[in-house]
């Protein structure tokens, strides 16, 4: 099964998960369009943190799966891929726009026409650096979303409901039935094989090793020790970096000490479907062999006794 949470994205789970209806896998392209600027009067881009806080707070009711910053490559994910999100209008009695597919992955690019970043004004999304697009596209494609625009690219699309219901691919917000928005106006081209270098996995012998016994000892002793105390620092750092990549541990706590913040983050990993789906006392933040091996498989290290 593909990753429910995009590797490398910050995970900010807002809850309210609900199943999709099945059918052709889809991705929906949006832009935030949170300001109305013009060529004559450009405006500064809204900070990424503002939009992230909005979708995790007062804007939960319209949150997408993904907030993507094409200027830096930052990505935050709010719900897992197999849940519906709520960024589309869904009228009673028609197609269930937010659920009409095996997945309906909705992506909001942090952008509005004629936004200004530094001294540069960007008229179209495709004029931005589009950092992180290759990785985002690869994750969406892993869920079976076709490299196609069945209702047309954002620059020239229709809202054909029959096509929407029967064809997998990418749909602009403007190309989605029951919706009246005009975004995203443009979208980057699908990466080609030559443009996206293959990801080569390191050989097993080259992978760093983490001793289960060492990290268990650290998790049991570091929290009660003096601030900054470390036990088996190098191995704990490997685990902490993996938890950070999962969006479970803030970067300031990746310090080689298996303290209370790391224990809490590891407990969240244990409770997650990817970490084993443990409950109760089984998700206590102390690494177990199965949960640690699941983390290792996703982040390129091996587990020893």
Preceding omega of 184 cis (within 30 degrees of 0): yes
Distance CA 110, CA 182 (A): 16
Query: In degrees rounded to 5, what are phi and psi of residue 55?
Result: -70, -25
Q: Is 92 exposed, middle or buried (0-12, 13-18, 19+ CB in 10 A)?
A: exposed
Nearest alpha carbon to residue 116 among 50, 45, 37, 35: 45
Q: Note the pLDDT tens digit of each residue in 262-292.
A: 999 999 999 988 888 999 999 999 999 999 9
Instruction: Tell me the percentage of the chain whose pLDDT exceeds 90.
Output: 85
Q: Is 273 exposed, middle or buried (0-12, 13-18, 19+ CB in 10 A)?
A: exposed
Nearest alpha carbon to residue 67 among 97, 107, 27, 37: 107
The whole-number pLDDT of residue 134 equals 95
Spans in the chain with pLDDT lower than 50:
194-204
The whole-number pLDDT of residue 1 equals 67
Distance CA 87, CA 107 (A): 9
The whole-number pLDDT of residue 149 equals 98
55 with 63: CB under 8 angstroms? yes
The whole-number pLDDT of residue 265 equals 94
Strand partners of residue 28: 106, 171
The whole-number pLDDT of residue 204 equals 43
Q: Note the pLDDT tens digit of each residue in 53-104.
A: 999 999 999 999 999 999 999 999 999 999 999 999 999 988 999 999 999 9
Domains observed in the chain: 10-175 (3.40.80.10), 204-304 (no CATH)
61 with 122: CB under 8 angstroms? no
Using alpha carbons only, give the angle 173, 53, 91 rounded to the nearest 5 degrees: 35
139 with 4: CB under 8 angstroms? no
């Amino acid at each position: 099964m593909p990753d429910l949470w995009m590797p490398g994205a910050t995970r900010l789970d807002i809850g309210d998960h609900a199943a999709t209806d099945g059918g052709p896998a889809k991705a929906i392209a949006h832009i935030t369009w949170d300001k109305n600027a013009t060529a004559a009067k450009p405006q500064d881009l809204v900070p990424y943190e503002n939009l992230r806080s909005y979708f995790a707070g007062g804007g939960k009711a319209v949150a997408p799966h993904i907030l993507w910053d094409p200027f830096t490559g930052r990505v935050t994910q709010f719900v897992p891929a197999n849940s519906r999100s709520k960024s589309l209008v869904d009228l009673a009695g028609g197609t269930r726009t937010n659920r009409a597919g095996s997945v309906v992955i909705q992506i909001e690019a942090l952008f509005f026409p004629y936004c200004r970043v530094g001294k540069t004004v960007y008229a179209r999304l495709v004029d931005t650096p589009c950092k992180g697009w290759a990785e985002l596209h690869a994750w969406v494609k892993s869920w079976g979303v076709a490299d196609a625009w069945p209702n047309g690219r954002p620059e020239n699309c229709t809202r054909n409901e029959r096509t929407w219901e029967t064809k997998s691919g990418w749909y602009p917000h403007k190309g989605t039935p029951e919706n009246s928005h005009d975004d995203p106006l443009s979208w980057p081209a699908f990466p080609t094989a030559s443009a996206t270098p293959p990801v080569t996995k390191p050989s097993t012998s080259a992978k760093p090793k983490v001793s289960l016994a060492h990290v268990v000892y650290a998790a049991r002793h570091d929290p009660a020790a003096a601030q900054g105390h470390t036990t088996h620092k190098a191995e704990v750092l490997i685990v902490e970096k993996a938890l950070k990549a999962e969006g479970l541990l803030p970067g300031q706590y990746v310090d080689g000490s298996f303290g209370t913040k790391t224990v809490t983050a590891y407990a969240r990993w244990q409770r997650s479907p990817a970490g084993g789906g443990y409950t109760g006392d089984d998700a206590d933040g102390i690494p177990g062999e199965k949960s640690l091996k699941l983390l290792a498989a996703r982040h390129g290290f091996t587990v020893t006794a």
